[in-house]
Every structure is written in structure tokens, then in C-alpha cells.
Amino acid sequence: MEGLNHFPEALRESARLVVKTRESRLTALRRGESYPSLSLSDRRAWLEEFHPDYRADSCRPLTLGPNQGDLVPCELADLLESWPRHAVSRHFALSRRSHSAAEGDPSALAPFSKQVKADLHTDVLVIGGGGAGTTAAIAAAEAGAKVLIVTKLRHGDSNTIMAEGGMQVADQEADSPVQHYLDTMGGGHFINDPDLVESLVSDGPRVLRWLEELGMLFDKYPTGRMKVRHGGGTSRRRLHASGDVTGLELMRVLRDHAESFANIRVLPFHPAVELLTDDNGRAVGAVLEHLVAGDRLPTIQVVHARAVVLATGGFGRLHFKKFPTSNHYGALADGLVLAYRAGVPLRDLRYCQYHPTGIVYPDRKIGLLLTEKFRGWGAQLLNYHGEEFVFGLEPRDVTSAAIIRECTEMGNGITTPSGRVGVWLDIPLIDLLHGRGTIEREFPGRFREFIGKGIDLRVAPVLTYPTLHYQNGGIAIQSDGGTDMPGLYAAGEVTGGVHGDNRLMGNALLEILVFGLRAGRSAARFAQNNGEGSNPGVSHLESFMEALHEKAAGQHRTSPRLLPSYGKSGLPA
């Protein structure tokens, strides 16, 4: 059949069934019929049975630190209960032996009180050069602070640049921040922090206006009206997009704007590997590791700052339960590790977000996303027989659970030659519903990418399965971006509370802007009102390492991990 030739025989048969049922599905859609959505209690039941993180063996309680006893994914728990990296231990002459064991050996006690000289000084140190970090830097710079952004890869290599589908803002006549609040709380299973959500939705129109003024391009009608679509779990159409490369457009503009500030400096390939604290338990800088130092340059750099903003993003590259991921190369929960060691509480980390439609075939695109915007425009999720089995725009965790159910319990998945299973996303339906040319116009990035590799999204469905996508929880913050530690602010995916247990699509991009601006402003204000820290060092590691030793946990593991290492087997199977 035309356009299906790139599929191996094993997939083509089912793909033909998709084509066969398309006409009748289209007729139903035109009559305004859609697959019924689940009640709250059915949602719960499906989640409990099929969502990967509701399984008991996916999590374990933390054995130390401020969140002792809380359940988090096992791989994350291990990372939080690990020793500092070797370079840090060497630099600060940290000993892994407990102090009691090392009694009589004065060198074991000395390091924590060791004063560290700074290689760099700044007012506001921003850790992480993605969307939240860059926004925070801009806000702090506008408030007059001298800003240093340190980031792991290049400026902008981040999850932000990968965002496809769009950003939620309540700006239409039928909408309001209160309605947006309702959707967000419901999507997060009502455990979100109400103050944070009110801030998120109320600042929406202001940041959208800001982006418009910075010259960011949005999908618009000629009159200037924004084109908006539904996302999963929304009751109003409020998803604003720039084609299917919203994050790319956002990151390009933010980075360009940041470069116009003389008081913002960027240090790429310098991930933070530890925070610095002072005698009063305030954050006063960070320890950096130079990733491409070679053997002439010092590996470790110490930054003294008056205030610190953590914006290191998420953790998809930890590949929990061997799931593939949609995340960028540097998403390994570094920020959580740094904060937790310094005694800063985290929240809502038990459930990760699996994006329902990660690519399963072709193999070389495994884990990458097909944005929810496809479903927003009418693309349906279909099983082997070309039949719908769930309303495609349930909140993400529910849709993912439904796909897993269809592939396991119902046995209606489609298996690829390499042994992966998935369901169809019937993209061609979009052109039939909205007229020829819609796919090309609304999804220029994905369309070009696929057509360049011989796959025509206008005629062929794509095989998809949930992929590890988003860190719902993280560092607990207040509305001003502040954390439990004075001088430490946080924004973006590294934080928790905004999304509860499940983020709605389009709320992450809004979050990095709203809380990036708030954290940046607050950090600048804090820096103005407070001098340099007294006696900056890593003394907070003392009690952490003591506890670690006591629990005999993580004897050999070190963290943060910084980058994944993919060996012979490549991405996890």
C-alpha cells in the first residue's frame, strides 16, 4: 500500500488495518463523536494497575536526609545516597571514613572546615543554562546583578530546546487563570502546592506578552490572534505553539536576549558538582568540574556568589526501569543531588511522567517524542486492529497507562522486528480532518525530519509507546523561587510542587518562565541585601557523609553522574 513501504512486513499488516478503519473513524469524528473519557475512579484504577511507577518494586524509601522515608524511584534513591565525586573528594581532601572511626587522625576532621579560595566571584550564580536558568539570569541581570551562568554542555543544550508542542497560557475569552488553575490541580491529582499554581497561571499572560515583545514567533492568525489547541487534561484551548519546535524557538530567543546583557557571563562545559555553604547554612556558591579540562587545566573551579539559582532540569537520562527517554544528554538529576546533600527538602518524586507517544519504530528514533500537539489536532491512538482504545487527551499518566494496558493485558500491541511493542499514532487523520497541508504547516520540524528519511507523515501512522519524559517533582520551593536554604533559589524542572504528581503538557514551558523570572529577581534582591558568605566551604557534606556512612549505603557509588555512559548495548533494551 502506498506510503507504508518503509515498514517491515511485521508492521505493515497492522498498518493496513489502520488505513482500512480510517474512513469510518473520520466519519465518527466529523459527527463530533469521540472516545469517552474516564471517570476519576477509573483513572485511578488504570493508573494503579498499569502505570510503571505505581508498581511497588519501582520505588524505595530514602534512608537518610530531609526526606528520609519518602518513596522515590530506586535509581534516584541510589543517586541521592552516593558519595561526592572523586574530583571533589580529592580537592577538599574528604575522607569516606566516619569521624568516629577516624579519631586520632586529625586530617579526617580538618577538611570540612577548610576555607576554599575562589577562582571566580559573582553576585548571582545560575546553575544550568536551559530555559529556566537563562530566564533567571535575564531577570537578575535586569535587576542589576552581575550574573554567571555555569552549564554542563553548551548554553541551551537542554530539555527546553527540545520542547515541541507548546505552552499553556489562559488568554482566550472563554478562559481564565482560575480555569487554568483548576485544570492544573486536577492533572496533578490535587496535591500541587496551591500558591505555586496560582503564581504559575496568574503570571501566564505577562510572560506571553514578554515573549511577544522579544520577537518570539507563535502560531498566529493574520489578525494577531494566537492559534490555540487543547492539550491532555485541559478544559480550554490554551496551548500556544511555534510550529512543533516551540522550545527551539524559545531557547533561541532567550539565549539571544541573554547575550545582549553585558553583566551575564556564560561558562559552558562546567557542571556544578557541589554547592558551597557558609557558617550560617546559607548557599554561597558552587564547586564546578571542567569537563574538557585536559591535563593542564585544573579540573575543579570554585565560584563564590551572594546568591545561587539551581536550574539544572530533569532526570530522563537515568532511564528508570530501562525506559527510553525523550530528554537531552545532560538530564541526570544533578540538581536534586546537590540540594539534597545540602539538606534541602524535595517533594513529589515518586511518580515520573512517561510521555504517551515516544517513537518505537524506526529503531534509531527510539524514545524521541511525537508531541501531544498531534493528538491535539486529532491524531488517534490505535491498537493492532486499527481501533481506538482510549481518549487520546486524557492527562498523560492516564494515557500512558492505557497504552501499557492495551499492549500487555489486552494483547493488542504491535511488535517490531527488534522486539519492542507499541500502538499506532494515526497522524494522517489530521490532514483529512483539517485539510491538506495541515501536517506540513503545523509540524514543520517533524515533517521535514521524517520525509528526509523516507517516511511521509501524511500517509503513514507511527508506532509509539510511553517514554520517560518529565520529572514531576523536585526541590520544594516557595512562590518567590526560594528554597529552605537562605540564598538558594530554584526554578524549572528541578523543582517540585507546581505540577503535583503529574504535569499537564505546556505547563513546563510556562513554569520555567514564570519561576525563572521570580527566582532570578529574588536572587538578585538577596544578593543586594547580603554580603559575601563567611567562610564558604563544603561543611554541609560533613553530616551528610556521616549519615551515609552510618547507613552503609552507597559505599562505592558517586554522584552527580553528569553524563550517561552508553556502552555496547547502547540505549537500554
Provide, rounded to whole angstroms, the least separation between the CB of residue 154 and ligand FAD. Answer: 8
Among 107, 115, 260, 529, binds other proteins (CB under 8 A): 260
Judged by beta carbon, residue 32 or residue 69, the one nearer other proteins is: 32
Q: Please name which of 470, 424, 556, 532 lies closest in space to residue 7, comparing C-alpha atoms.
A: 424
- 46 close to 395: Cβ distance less than 8 angstroms: no
Among 18, 127, 145, 162, binds other proteins (CB under 8 A): 162
Site for other proteins in 208-227 (CB under 8 A): 208-209, 212-218, 220-227
Judged by beta carbon, residue 52 or residue 506, the one nearer ligand FAD is: 506
- 335 close to 274: Cβ distance less than 8 angstroms: no
Handedness of CA 245, 250, 251, 256 (dihedral sign): positive
Provide, rounded to whole angstroms, the least separation between the CB of residue 304 and other proteins. Answer: 26
Q: Please name which of 74, 50, 55 lies closest in space to residue 63, comparing C-alpha atoms.
A: 74
Reading the block at residue 535, the C-alpha cell is 567562610
Spell out, one character per residue from 26 to 55, where the chain touches other proteins: x when CB under 8 A holds, - when not. Answer: ------x-------x---------------
Q: Is 162 in the site for ligand FAD (CB under 6 A)?
A: yes
Q: Please name which of 534, 475, 505 lies closest in space to residue 128, comparing C-alpha atoms.
A: 475
**Neighbour tally for 173: CB within 10 Å:** 6
**Neighbour tally for 228: CB within 10 Å:** 23
Judged by beta carbon, residue 61 or residue 194, the one nearer other proteins is: 194
- Find how far residue 293's CA is from the centre of its chain: 28
Cα Dmax for the chain: 82
Residue nearest to ligand FAD (CB): 130
Q: Is 272 in the site for ligand FAD (CB under 6 A)?
A: yes
Q: Is 131 in the site for ligand FAD (CB under 6 A)?
A: yes
Q: Is 492 in the site for ligand FAD (CB under 6 A)?
A: yes
Judged by beta carbon, residue 29 or residue 563, the one nearer ligand FAD is: 563
328 is catalytic: no
96 is catalytic: no
Q: Please name which of 231, 177, 240, 242 lies closest in space to residue 208, comparing C-alpha atoms.
A: 240
Q: Please name which of 444, 466, 465, 447 lies closest in space to residue 456, comparing C-alpha atoms.
A: 447
Q: Is 167 in the site for ligand FAD (CB under 6 A)?
A: yes
Catalytic residue (choose from 91, 355, 469, 521): 355
Q: Please name which of 18, 503, 53, 563 lies closest in space to residue 273, comparing C-alpha atoms.
A: 563
Q: How far from 379 is each of 330, 426, 431, 433, CA to CA, in Å?
A: 31, 5, 10, 9
Spell out, one character per residue from 361 to 380, where the chain touches other proteins: x when CB under 8 A holds, - when not. Answer: --xx---xx--------x--
Reading the block at residue 469, the C-alpha cell is 519524559
Catalytic residue (choose from 51, 375, 405, 561): 375
Beta strands in 185-337 (DSSP E): 228-229, 239-240, 264-267, 272-277, 283-289, 300-310
Provide, rounded to whole angstroms, the least separation between the CB of residue 502 and ligand FAD. Answer: 13
Find which of ligand FAD, other proteins, none residue 493 binds, CB within 5 to 8 Å per kind: ligand FAD
DSSP state of 84: P
Q: How far from 441 is each of 141, 431, 436, 438, 446, CA to CA, in Å?
A: 37, 10, 10, 5, 11
DSSP state of 369: B
Provide, rounded to whole angstroms, the least separation between the CB of residue 1 and ligand FAD. Answer: 31
Find which of other proteins, ligand FAD, none residue 272 binds, CB within 5 to 8 Å per kind: ligand FAD
Among 234, 312, 479, 483, binds ligand FAD (CB under 6 A): 312
Judged by beta carbon, residue 67 or residue 327, the one nearer ligand FAD is: 327
Residues assigned a catalytic role? 355, 375
Give the binding site for ligand FAD (CB under 6 A). 127-133, 150-153, 157-160, 162-167, 246-247, 271-272, 311-314, 326-327, 330-331, 334, 369, 371, 470, 492-494, 505-509, 512, 560
